[in-house]
């Protein structure tokens, strides 16, 4: 999905969450940071981004 719609914040968020849950932290961090940058108003995106950065 992110290849077809690279500015889809929810797609980046979901990809980041799935990467995190499967242990791919670097990939998760990348997509969660992108999601938070695309939608800085979303507190949940920022929370997951901050959590993965701290890990």
- Per-residue HEC secondary structure of 11-49 comes to HHHHHHHHHHHCCCHHHHHHHHHHHHHHCCCCHHHHHHH
pLDDT digits over 24-43, tens only? 999 999 999 999 999 999 99
Q: What average pLDDT does this structure show over 9-24?
A: 97
**What are φ and ψ of residue 42, in 5° steps?**
-90, 105
Q: How far apart are the first and last CA of the chain?
A: 27
The pLDDT assigned to 55 comes to 84
Q: Is 1 helix (H, G, I), strand (E, B) or coil?
A: coil
List the domain boundaries for the chain.
Answer: 9-54
Percent of the chain residues topping a pLDDT of 70: 100
């Amino acid at each position: 999905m992110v290849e077809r719609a690279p500015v889809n914040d929810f797609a980046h968020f979901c990809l980041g969450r799935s990467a995190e849950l499967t242990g791919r932290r670097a990939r998760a961090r990348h997509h969660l940071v992108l999601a938070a940058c695309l939608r800085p108003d979303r507190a949940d995106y920022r929370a997951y981004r901050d959590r993965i950065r701290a890990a």
